[in-house]
Structure 1
Amino acid sequence: MTTTTEEKKYNKLILALSIIIPLAVAVLFGVKIPNVEPLSFLPPIYATINGLTAVLLFTAVWAVKNGKRTLHEKLMKVCIGLSAAFLVMYVAYHMTSDSTVYGGEGVVRYVYYFILISHILLSIIIIPLVLISFVRALAGRFDRHRKIARITYPIWLYVAVTGVVVYLMISPYYAT
């Protein structure tokens, strides 16, 4: 299978974004804006965005399997928008607030850190997968889109769901 000209023109952008976004988040995570009120209201909002993303991803897959291609396309665009909004809020929160330390003990602590670490690592991996899936759909290469979407979907769904789980597990320990 050959890569179309349209796909090729986006490959460099996908590669750049797949590197720049995680690096920017890592750098900005360490930047604290002085004399700014902490944006402590954001975690429940971005956790809700993760939950909504999970529901919409599930609905989008249902839509395409039931021949509702236009609905699928619209839902996927909303999911990408929600993920971008999540990212902005997440970075803004961490630039104005100290990181919250998980206070759970015993086995639950190990479960929390396993979920958190897998969530973070897969959230990095999902960036190029989503972008490649999106570009292939835009290019009308639905054969190639389906192949990568089968990998992208469960990872993206896991990241969205575990984002909610991480929030629920750490929320009792947020400073009030």
Structure 2
Amino acid sequence: MSDVSAKKYNVWIWVLSIIIPIAVAVLFTVRIPGVERLGFLPPIYASINGLTAILLVVALFQIKKGNIRTHERIMKTCIVLSALFLLMYVAYHMTSDSTSYGGEGPLRYVYFFILISHILLSITVIPFVLITYVRAITGQFPQHKKIARITFPIWLYVAITGVLVYLMISPYY
């Protein structure tokens, strides 16, 4: 890959890595007037997180077995699912007030630890996913493998904790 192509990808990676979290934060303050609360979305986007977690593990097994094309297809599916999750998540929050966690005692601290780590790592994982993807599509496989070892556990954690956050807060919707 040429230096010009690498620089172009790097610019897009960093632009998206900054714009996506800012856009999500800004959209959290926007309410769509006249649109009914989209309360059916949380179980759907939680399921998307669960499916993403499963597919990430399947993709890992596929690459370890040497099934490169299958691995590639599954990873592209994971990226699409993550984007779909994000769209639904923002749509829900643009039509609904945030739900407060109603649990008490030590479980409350567990919930907030999971929630805060989930949010911080969901922001952190964006450039990792994009860099990992670009290194794969540009044929930089040694570099792809090196960063994928970092990206995979973070992305998997974000996907799994997304489900856990939903399960823990769902009684309070």
* Superposition TM-score tier, normalisation by shorter sequence: over 0.9
Note the C-alpha offset of 1:134.
0.2
TM-score with structure 2 length normalisation?
0.98
Unaligned runs of 5+ in 2: none
Deviations 1:36-89 (A, max 9, x none): 100000000000000000000000000000000000000000000000000000
CA distance in 2, matches of 1:126, 1:3: 26
Partner of 1:28: 27
Asked whether the 8 Å contact 1:137–1:145 carries over to 2, the reply is yes
Uncovered stretches (5+) of structure 1, i.e. residues with no partner: none
Cα distance in 2 for residues equivalent to 1:146 and 1:165: 28
Please state whether the residue corresponding to 2:170 is helix, strand or coil.
Answer: helix
Instruction: State the match for 1:105 in structure 2.
Output: 104
- Alignment correspondent of 1:10: 9
Contact kept, 8 Å, 1:54 with 1:157, in 2: the verdict is yes
**DSSP 3-state at the match of 2:37:** coil
Q: Residues of 2 paired with 1:171 and 1:7: CA distance?
A: 43
How many residues align structurally? 173
Q: Measure the CA separation in 2 of the matches of 1:86 and 1:8.
A: 29
Q: What residue is the counterpart of 2:75 in the other structure?
A: 76
Distance 1:112 1:124, change over 3 A: same
Cα offset, 1:9, TM superposition = 1.8
Letter in 1 for 2:63: V
Q: How far, CA to CA, are the matches of 1:86 and 1:156 in structure 2?
A: 13
Counterpart of 2:48 in structure 1 is 49
TM-score (norm 1): 0.96
CA distance in 2, matches of 1:5, 1:137: 17
User: Could you list the runs of 4 or more consecutive aligned residues of structure 1 that deviate by over 6 angstroms after TM superposition?
Assistant: none
Shift of residue 91, structure 1, vs aligned partner: 0.2
CA RMSD of aligned residues (A): 1.1
> 1:96-122: per-residue Cα shift (whole Å, max 9, x none)?
001000000000000000000000000
% identical aligned pairs: 69
Residues 7 and 136 in structure 1, CA contact (< 8 A), matched pair in contact too: no
